Structure 1
Amino acid sequence: MKTHRLLVAAGLIGAIGLGAVVTRASWLGSSERAPGPAKARSVSVEVARAERRTVPVEVDAIGTVTPVASVALKSRLETTIVAVHFEDGAPVREGDLLFTLDARQLDAQIAQAEGSLARDQAQLAGAERDLRRYSDLVAKGATTQVNLDNAKTQVDVLQATIQADQSALDNLRVQKSFTVIRAPISGRISAAAVKVGNFVRPADVAPLATINQIAPVYVAFAIPQRTLGELRDAMDAGASRVVATIPGTQRSETGKVAMVENTVDATTGMITVRGIMDNTAETLWPGTLVSSKLIVRTEHAVVVPSVAIQRSQTGSFVFVIKDNVARVQPVTVLRTAQGLSVVETGLAGDEQVVVDGQLLLLEGTRVEVRPRRAGA
């Protein structure tokens, strides 16, 4: 038994030694076949060039289109509509005939007033003849002074009566002019609230129709109070502009600042600005919400695509490519607009900055520039 155990132990020891030899040889072989240090990998990136060019200093806001003038048409008489001379929503020009009202009652009153005037004029002519006759008789001593004075009084009374008759007639003619309603301004008219045959009166709350002047048109919006000083300087120099764009479309109108409100809203720190647009094509419609852009001035500065700007705890930076190596370049960004960032410090212009692939970059990473995608 002892001999058997010794043989088993010797076999185990031999097996362990053989395994150690084989393992060491394997390790040595692997070390001989191991390659050298791994070659540094290049990161594929897209780049754009920093440009020094003229850029506008602008303020974006949401604006509302309002008409320059709006007129609600109402009847000044209690009468009936006999004709409507426009189509609902049609453009109208100043002086165009819009409504005709029933004028028959006024025509009768005018005829009556004209008759009263003619009667009093005839009586005045007779009184003037009596005055001349009494004057001759008094000169001859054939009548008393009292008769002459009475004749003069009668002439004065009839002259005053004629003046009152003429005033009443003029008033009736003015009243008749109200039976013809014309457009006081040019613009777009609303749908007629009443049609032929309807009875209208001055006390009616709803207007017959409303005319809004659309060309030109106002765009009102609010800007921060910190911009007020620059805006006033730009207005004095005639350099301010306003661009109003309908959201979701490329349709826009350009105009100038027409008015700045005289008070800043203390609760919001905003001030209302009103721009005026020619709007000859009627692009802007009253009541529409538009994207307003106030261009205060233009300046020469370095711009880069906004996607190139990266941010860290120490501030903003961009990756600049030099000799196919990425370098971290701290920058100071003044503002961002329309996908471009205006850089105040850090770039001189004409540098290549990374716009895609920044997540794989570090200081000194080698890069491979690939063409930019269409539309980027």
Structure 2
Amino acid sequence: MHFSAPLRLSLCFLLPFTLLGCGEQAQEQRPVAGPVHVDVLNLTPTRLRLTTELPGRIAAFKQAEVRPQVTGILKSRLYEEGSQVEAGDVLYEIDPTTYQSNVNSAQAQLAKAQTTEATNKKTALRYKELLKKKLTSQQDYDDADAAYKEAQAEVAINQAALDYANIELSYTKIKAPISGQAGLSLVSEGSLLTAEQSSYLTTIVQTSNVYVDMQQSSLSIHKMKQDFADFKDEKADIPVSITLEDGSAYEQVGHLEFADTQVSNSTGTVTLRAIIPNPNNTLLAGMYVRAHISMPEARDYLVVPQSAVVRSQSGVPSVFTVNQEGKTVKKTVVLDDEVDNGWVVKEGLVAGDQVVISNIINMKNDIAVIIDSSTESASSTPDVEQ
């Protein structure tokens, strides 16, 4: 189709106005943005007994290395390896012949000294009576009395020698210093043992209870002590449970014993020690476990979902709440412990606040919202790990 030149010129003038009119019509038809639809969480206190999880290692409650105290040939081993022994049980016996001979000699020396003492005592008493009757001199009496006292000293010396000989003889029976499970014997009959030797004969480990040693940063220890200081019963035991290496929970629950008084220069951590019952010898020294330290009592906390927390470029956390006018209020919060998929809020929120938990990406401060659903915080939960 062909248009004349005047007609084409008219069409060129009309086209911009036509497009402009279409644009104004489209702008009038664009919907105006309305309130954002959200779900909120009505904050109510949640009763929790917070728990801190730390890596730990099992250590023996008591462990003794058995060594000989006298020199001699090992005559016999009197215990069964791996068996339970009581303190004072005889584990080994050294050939006592030499030491029994020493005891016999000391007994004879003591008997000789006692005889001399008795003779000198009679002489001293006789001279004492003669001196009263002035039938002897003072010098003779003094000599007799000195001889008697010297004989008394000899008796004491020989008595001490006999006691020492008996002690050495008793050391030929090597006894268990503590009750516990006796380990592998490192010597056999006929071995030469020496007093104060560096190598031990066996070990005894007390296994009815064990220690769990844990490492915690000095900053976390300070925070933990502050939390414990606020509890009503300051003398209450702090429960400690453990998880074994295979992930199974150990059935016995112990308690926190103490925290070390020094910070490690190399790691900046403090050692915590707990005592755990071990009636079935399930826990062995050197095992690695996960320890769970519980607070002495449950408390009320405000908990918000982690997905509801937004952070600024500097990492400052905040949440959006809905006020009575139906508008959002951005509140900066101080977070404490992590609880499952939530955070314990230490500062910034109060019970009754409505926290936005959905459509967070579209949230801004002071915008109108429509609440689609409202949920309540859980009133109580079991022990929760930090």
Alpha-carbon separation, structure 2, partners of 1:245 and 1:309: 31
Alpha-carbon separation, structure 1, partners of 2:60 and 2:91: 20
Residue segments in structure 1 that go unaligned for 5+ positions in a row: 1-49, 318-329, 367-376
What amino acid sits opposite 1:272 in the alignment?
T
What does 1:1-376 align with in structure 2 at a 5 Å threshold? 53-233=46-226, 234=228, 237-238=234-235, 240-247=238-245, 248-265=247-264, 268-296=267-295, 298-301=298-301, 335-336=337-338, 340-342=341-343, 344=345
Secondary structure, counterpart of 1:127 in structure 2: helix
User: CA shift at 1:292, angstroms?
Assistant: 1.3
Show CA shifts across 1:89-128 (max 9, x none): 2222222222222222111111111111111211222222
Taking a change above 3 Å as real, the CA distance of residues 54 and 92 of structure 1, as seen in their structure-2 partners, is farther
Show CA shifts across 1:120-165 (max 9, x none): 2112222222233333444455444433332222212211111111
Worse overlay, 244-253 or 135-144: 135-144
TM-score after normalising by structure 2: 0.64
The percent identity for this pair of structures is: 22
User: CA shift at 1:62, angstroms?
Assistant: 0.9
What amino acid sits opposite 2:77 in the alignment?
V
Show CA shifts across 1:21-76 (max 9, x none): xxxxxxxxxxxxxxxxxxxxxxxxxxxxx997533322222111112322111111
Secondary structure, counterpart of 1:108 in structure 2: helix
Taking a change above 3 Å as real, the CA distance of residues 131 and 265 of structure 1, as seen in their structure-2 partners, is closer
User: CA shift at 1:206, angstroms?
Assistant: 1.3
Conservation of the 8 A alpha-carbon contact between 2:65 and 2:203? yes
User: CA shift at 1:77, angstroms?
Assistant: 0.3
Secondary structure, counterpart of 1:64 in structure 2: strand
Secondary structure, counterpart of 1:242 in structure 2: strand
Conservation of the 8 A alpha-carbon contact between 2:121 and 2:148? yes
Taking a change above 3 Å as real, the CA distance of residues 139 and 52 of structure 1, as seen in their structure-2 partners, is closer
TM-score after normalising by structure 1: 0.66
Conservation of the 8 A alpha-carbon contact between 2:131 and 2:137? yes
Taking a change above 3 Å as real, the CA distance of residues 342 and 282 of structure 1, as seen in their structure-2 partners, is farther
Taking a change above 3 Å as real, the CA distance of residues 362 and 84 of structure 1, as seen in their structure-2 partners, is farther
Residue segments in structure 2 that go unaligned for 5+ positions in a row: 1-42, 320-330, 364-369, 373-386
Q: C-alpha root-mean-square deviation of aligned residues, in Å?
A: 3.9
Secondary structure, counterpart of 1:215 in structure 2: strand
User: CA shift at 1:311, angstroms?
Assistant: 8.2
Conservation of the 8 A alpha-carbon contact between 1:246 and 1:252? no
Question: How many residues are treated as equivalent by the alignment?
Answer: 300
Secondary structure, counterpart of 2:140 in structure 1: helix
Worse overlay, 280-289 or 263-272: 263-272
Conservation of the 8 A alpha-carbon contact between 1:72 and 1:210? yes
Larger radius of gyration, structure 1 or 2? Answer: 1
User: CA shift at 1:346, angstroms?
Assistant: 11
